[in-house]
Amino acid sequence: MRKSVQELAIAGASPTFPSPLHVGRPNIGNRERLMERINDLLDRRWLSNAGVYVNELEQRLAEILGVKHCIVMCNGTVALEIAIRALGLQGEVIVPSLTFVATAHALQWQQIKPVFCDIDPVSCTIDSSRVEELITPLTTGIIGVHLWGRPCNTDALQEIAERHRLRLMYDAAHALGVTSGGKMIGGFGDVEIFSFHATKFINSFEGGAVTTNNSVLADRIRLMKNFGFSGYDNVVYIGTNGKMPEVSAAMGLTSLESMDEFIAINYRNYLAYKDGVKDIPGISLLPYSDNERTNYQYIVLILDETVARIARDRVIDVLQKENVIARRYFYPGCHRMEPYRSLQPQAGLVLPETEKLVRQTIVLPTGTDISLEAISEITDILRCAITNSDELTYLLTAR
Ligand code: T4K
């Protein structure tokens, strides 16, 4: 049911959607296949520690990504922490502030200072032209983030890393099934890490992976994720517990089998949003490149408040009252979160593009749980709110 601006202003009692439409709603895939796998692992009584599903998932991912080694983990954050440790990073590491806070925390957790770099406003990934000015004698590495499935400038970052003898890794949590220059993400830099959290396009409930073409590094990472054990009773390295359980691998394998279908649905949704917002003043949909493969998992709107004449947060409030649980990912940027806000109070001074973008984004629901009709209703809410922004602001503030 389409609402008038007056109805939007008093919404709450009868929202457009009876139950919440969340960003990050998981894709489930083939339930029967998942249950078969779960029954099988229960029958075999092998629940964790290098089980057959974990091995199969690692092989399958390595094939899809065209990379020599894939080591799956219990989540993406632990994958980041282990990769950082295996690479021997210390001192300072250059990283974008526009990312989920796990990227920065994985460094700080190990007493490494994240040095925040601004983003390129088109790709929304680390601005490679601003990296070199942040390098100091303490710098040991660079972490690029393929944010929202947009690849970093991998050529430029590789060149900088080699010239300054720095380690290069990528947080590819959003970038499964994405290419950069036609090559699948997974094999760039020294290592890349993935997340298979429930909110990700391919999920294993919780899960993550490190991928690399470096066999020495892969061996070290395998040891580290299993307490450093090399065979029974033989610990050769300091390690932790980063293992993925079999039930997660069962979900991951099942999810991967539906990968093409999930991408097709996400693409359909992306086109519907694109069409739905094209005539709304002050709103644009962050485009995906037509030249690369991608997963279309993040629907990111950019709201120009001066043109739309309404605050981004007010639009989010209106959507949420209609049960569209839109998000401000990744507001306010890591540098404005603790402990970075206290440790590096001046960081924002060199992050003008990041500071601008975090005030403009609205991330909307997509995936298999949303219909084209729902997308049409969501874009109608946006159109009504923005084309009547003066009246809506008046009604909301007068209440
Ligand atoms: N690097 C990057 C760039 C990342 O984005 C992430 C994770 C990581 C590293 C770390 O990977 P992991 O260690 O998580 O594997 C969520 C996720 O928890 C997080 O995995 C993800 N990025 C981040 C972008 O989103 P929150 O704090 O926004 O979670 P929450 O609880 O608000 O849920 C997000 C939305 O998903 C809500 O609208 C509800 C919905 N949801 C969530 C779950 C778990 C569901 O509908 N069903 C569910 O089962 O962080």
Q: Where are the domains of the chain?
A: 31-257, 259-326+365-398
Q: Quick one: average pLDDT of 382-396?
A: 89
- CATH annotation of 31-257: 3.40.640.10
Q: Which residues pair with 194 in a beta bridge?
A: 209
Q: Quick one: average pLDDT of 114-136?
A: 98
On average, the pLDDT of the chain sits at 96
Q: Which residues pair with 69 in a beta bridge?
A: 212
| d(C-alpha 237, C-alpha 223), whole Å | 7
Protein residues with CB under 6 Å of any ligand 1 atom: 22-26, 75-77, 99-100, 102-103, 145, 171, 173-174, 195, 197-199, 208, 325
Q: Which ligand 1 atom minimizes the distance to the CA of 147? A: 3
Instruction: State residue 268's pLDDT score.
Output: 98
State the distance from the centre of ligand 1 to the C-alpha of 215, rounded, in angstroms: 31
Instruction: State residue 384's pLDDT score.
Output: 93
Backbone angles phi, psi at 222, to 5 degrees: -60, -40
Residue 13's pLDDT band, with cuts at 50, 70 and 90, is: low
State the distance from the centre of ligand 1 to the C-alpha of 199, rounded, in angstroms: 5
Residue 399's pLDDT band, with cuts at 50, 70 and 90, is: low
Instruction: State residue 3's pLDDT score.
Output: 86
State which fold the 259-326+365-398 domain adopts.
Answer: Aspartate Aminotransferase, domain 1 (3.90.1150)
State the distance from the centre of ligand 1 to the C-alpha of 399, rounded, in angstroms: 34
259-280 pLDDT tens trace: 999 999 999 999 999 999 999 9
State the distance from the centre of ligand 1 to the C-alpha of 351, rounded, in angstroms: 24
Query: Atom 22, ligand 1: which residue's CA is nearest?
Result: 100
| Share of the chain residues as helix, strand and coil, in percent rounded to the nearest 5 | 40, 15, 40
**Percentage of residues in the chain having pLDDT higher than 90:** 92
State the distance from the centre of ligand 1 to the C-alpha of 216, rounded, in angstroms: 31
Q: Which ligand 1 atom minimizes the distance to the CA of 78? A: 13
Residue 337: name the closest of 108, 48, 138 by CA.
108
171-225 pLDDT tens trace: 999 999 999 999 999 999 999 999 999 999 999 999 999 999 999 999 999 999 9
Residues 6+ apart with CB under 8 A from 100: 173, 329, 330
Instruction: State residue 12's pLDDT score.
Output: 63
- Six token digits for residue 4: 């008038």
| Pocket perturbation via mutation, ligand 1, pick of 73, 108, 197, 298 by most ligand atoms within 8 A of CB | 197
Say if pTM beats, i.e. exceeds, 0.95.
yes
Q: Which ligand 1 atom minimizes the distance to the CA of 99? A: 3
Residue 394's pLDDT band, with cuts at 50, 70 and 90, is: confident
Q: Which ligand 1 atom minimizes the distance to the CA of 197? A: 15
For the residues of 55-94, what is the DSSP string, one character each?
A: HHHHHHHHHHHT-SEEEEES-HHHHHHHHHHHTT--SEEE
Q: Would you say residue 14 has pLDDT above 90? A: no
Residue 362: name the closest of 305, 307, 296 by CA.
305
Query: Atom 7, ligand 1: which residue's CA is nearest?
Result: 100
Q: At what angle do helices 76-86 and 215-224 cross, to 10 degrees?
A: 120
Q: Would you say residue 144 has pLDDT above 80? A: yes
Backbone angles phi, psi at 279, to 5 degrees: -105, 15
**DSSP class of 147:** G
Q: At what angle do helices 389-398 and 312-321 cross, to 10 degrees?
A: 70
- Six token digits for residue 398: 């007068």
Q: Quick one: average pLDDT of 345-355?
A: 97
* Element at 158 (helix H, strand E): helix 154-163
State the distance from the centre of ligand 1 to the C-alpha of 246, rounded, in angstroms: 21
For the residues of 317-355, what is the DSSP string, one character each?
A: HHHHHTTEE-B-TTTT-GGGSTTHHHH-TTGGGG-HHHH
